[in-house]
Structure 1
Amino acid sequence: MSTKGTYHLPRGTAADSPYDLLVTPESAGWGHSGLRILTLSPGEGHLLDTGDAEFLVLPLRGGCTVTVGGQTFALDGRTGVFESVTDFAYLPRGTRALVSSASGGTFALPNARTGHGGLPARYGRKEDVPVELRGAGACSRQVNNYCLPGTFEADRLLVCEVLTPGGNWSSYPPHKHDEARPGAESELEEIYYFQVAGENGFAYQRVYGTPDRPVDVLAEVRSGDTVLIPHGWHGPSIAAPGYDLYYLNVMAGPGQDRAWLICDDPAHGWVRDTWASQETDPRLPFGAKETNR
């Protein structure tokens, strides 16, 4: 299935058995970032070949074991994305791993194409995941920094989660990272995978381009939807009142330096200056009210 040229992928439209979602560089029409969502029934397993990409195994709901190269990583996982951060596993390119779950669950498999396989498979402890409260007032959100420069070593892959209380805006001010400007901006493709609390929960995602690289997305998103961001300004991500919003961000790009450097839309960047006089939303952080900052 090709999704090239289609940036909003409603739940199920990019499924490819056994995956609830399969985004590859080829299907997205770019070169580096990918994401798979895998649901396992109790006692079920899945054999994963990483090929030319590095992967995380990141539980969204439930726990699993990851067996690779004679090692077994037991991931406790979590009951849901709004409940806590999770432990996870890293898999290098060129490996075969068995992901199995005694009680069943849903697991994100973010990945990035890489030319290097020198990093070992390893376990990421939930206690080591930095949890950041970003913004203030109606722009308050929580960021779980799983696999970013300075938090977990990888070759190209960058992964974080953003949780936004109902009624708030995140990914705001709108920003971009689509050109290499040393010290100012890095070139990264990005995937947003959404879950929304509540049976009828919904949110909105905006993506818009620059004059020389147009893109225009204003999507109503629901649980299981995905938005691809090849370039351009992205944000806000708007959580409707009454419905908390979660999204998983997966990024990778061609740069030799693994970096997340963004540039705000100059029309809206001034909003950051207003946060100093506002309080963080008291609904944050989600879950156990503890952060690893």
Structure 2
Amino acid sequence: MTNAGKYHLLEGTSADGEYDLLVTPESAGWGYSGLRVLTLQPGETHALSTGDSEYLILPLTGGCTVTAGGEVFELEGRSGVFASVTDFAYLPPTSQAQINSASGGRFALPSARTQRGGLPARYGCKEDVPVELRGAGACSRQVNNYCLPGTFDAEQLLVCEVLTPGGNWSSYPPHKHDEGRPGQESELEEIYYFEISGGERAFGYQRVYGTEERPIDVLAEVRSGDTVLIPHGWHGPSIAAPGYDLYYLNVMAGPGQERAWLICDDPAHGWVRSTWESQDVDDRLPFGIQETNR
């Protein structure tokens, strides 16, 4: 590990010959969540064996064709993460897949280890992706809910994107999901993968801190391509510096028999939610609608 620390992975520190980013349950030191980021040159094909995990193929930039189990999924993709939501593909465990991009692009491959594997490979249409505006005022952000309970079926995997206008805070108030408490909190390992508008000098910040019983202390300056691992503890805020819009991909999975995303706010800061009632949602949201004017 570099001086980025155990939980903050700088761009390239978790790359290998195939992937720009490679986070496995083993490399993260946990049991379920994983993420790969893949760049394909025009006409290039990548072979993926899903093994004991389920995967999404989620275009970040560009489109691709995914072939698996006799199915062919044509993913139109997008020009970039701030431009629009994207279509995607789901692959169950024990799949042998080919990912080909005629024009080239970058693709996120979030994954979750599972022993179930009863779902088929299938296509996720971008028109069916719920886009949610959360918070208000300086806590306004956009959430693209790709693979959450009630939006898209999976065995263990949960995936969404959060887009935060420059100067705003998201993942706030700080919250956690590291205990299995039925109806209150679900135990989930989480990965944050960041991209930031504004070029190579653009930056944001991510905070993670623990409880007395399970300490963790991360304050990371993040740039495009960086990743933060959250095994437990309160996480937030995610801070978009003024002038730089912040994007992060959330990948979550855990041991619970019920696939659920249940969180607990830090009681020291949960009161902030009540202030949103008197504030408007940031008029820079949603992203994509005003893309030509940004």
**TM-score, structure 1 length as denominator?**
0.97
SS in structure 1 at match of 2:132: strand
Mapped to 1, the partners of 2:131 and 2:75 lie a distance apart of: 19
The letter for the 2-side match of 1:247 is Y
Given that 2:46 and 2:98 are in contact with CA atoms closer than 8 Å, whether structure 1 keeps it comes out as yes
Look up the SS of the partner of 1:19 in the other structure.
coil
Residue in structure 1 matched with residue 281 of structure 2 by the alignment: 280
Return the offset for 1:42.
0.2
Task: Tell whether 2:128 aligns with 1:151.
Answer: no
Quick check: 2:191–2:228 contact (8 Å CA) kept in 1? yes
Deviation, 1:71, is 1.1
* Cα root mean square deviation, aligned: 1.4
Residues 173, 128 of structure 1: alpha-carbon distance in 2 compared, 3 angstrom cutoff:
same
**Cα contact 2:2–2:13 (8 A) shared by 1:** no
Measure how far apart 1:2 and its partner are. 11
Aligned equivalent of 1:54:
54
Letter in 2 for 1:39: T
SS of residue paired to 2:181? coil
Q: After superposition, give the CA deviation of every residue in 1:12-37 in whole Å (9 maximum; x if it has no partner).
A: 00001210000000000000000000
The match for 1:219 is 220
* Deviations, residues 262-290 of structure 1 (Å, cap 9, x unaligned): 00000000000000000000000000269
The runs of at least 4 aligned residues of structure 1 exceeding 6 Å deviation read: none
Q: Does 1:261 align with 2:258?
A: no
Gaps of 5+ in 1: none
2:173 is aligned to 173
Return closer, same or farther for 1:289/1:146 CA change in 2, 3 Å cut-off: farther
Please report how far the alpha carbon of residue 117 of structure 1 lies from its aligned counterpart in structure 2 after TM superposition. 1.4
Q: Which residue of 2 aligns with 1:201?
A: 202
Aligned equivalents of 2:68 and 2:286: distance in 1?
34
1-side partners of 2:173 and 2:36: how far apart? 28
Percent of aligned pairs with the same residue?
79
Residue 56 of structure 2 aligns to which amino acid in structure 1?
L
Give the corresponding residue for 2:231: 230
Distance 2:70 2:160 in 1: 28
1:16-61 residue CA offsets vs partner (Å, 9 max, x unmatched) = 1210000000000000000000000000010000000000000000
Give distance in 2, aligned partners of 1:258 and 1:183. 12
CA 1:185–1:82 in 2, change beyond 3 Å: closer, same or farther? same
Aligned to 2:41: 41
Tell me the residue number matched to 1:134.
134
The one-letter code of the counterpart of 2:270 is G
Secondary structure of the residue aligned to 2:256 is: coil
| CA drift at 1:184 | 0.4
Deviations 1:120-155 (A, max 9, x none): 000000000000000000000000000000000000
Unaligned runs of 5+ in 2: none
Counterpart contact for 1:2–1:27, Cα < 8 Å: no
CA contact (8 A) 1:33 1:251 kept: yes
1:140-189 per-position Cα deviation (integer Å, ceiling 9, x unaligned): 00000000000000000000000000000000000000001111000000
Q: For the Cα contact (< 8 Å) 1:131–1:144, is it kept in 2? A: yes
SS at match of 2:289: coil
What TM-score results when the alignment is normalised by the length of structure 2? 0.97
CA distance in 2, matches of 1:194, 1:44: 25
The residue matched to 2:261 in structure 1 has which SS?
coil
Task: Give 3-state SS (helix, strand or coil) of 2:218's partner.
Answer: strand
1:206 positional shift: 0.1
User: What is aligned with 1:86?
Assistant: 86
Q: What is aligned with 1:246?
A: 247
In the comparison of the two structures, how many residue pairs are matched? 289
Are the aligned partners of 1:164 and 1:244 in contact in 2 as well (CA < 8 Å)?
Answer: yes
What residue is the counterpart of 2:186 in the other structure? 186
Query: Separation in 1 of the partners of 2:209 and 2:259?
Result: 25
Partner SS for 2:66: strand
Tell me, in whole angstroms, the C-alpha distance in 1 between the residues paired with 2:240 and 2:74: 33
Aligned-partner Cα distance in 1 for 2:14–2:212: 29
1:2–1:179 CA distance, 2 compared to 1 (3 A): farther
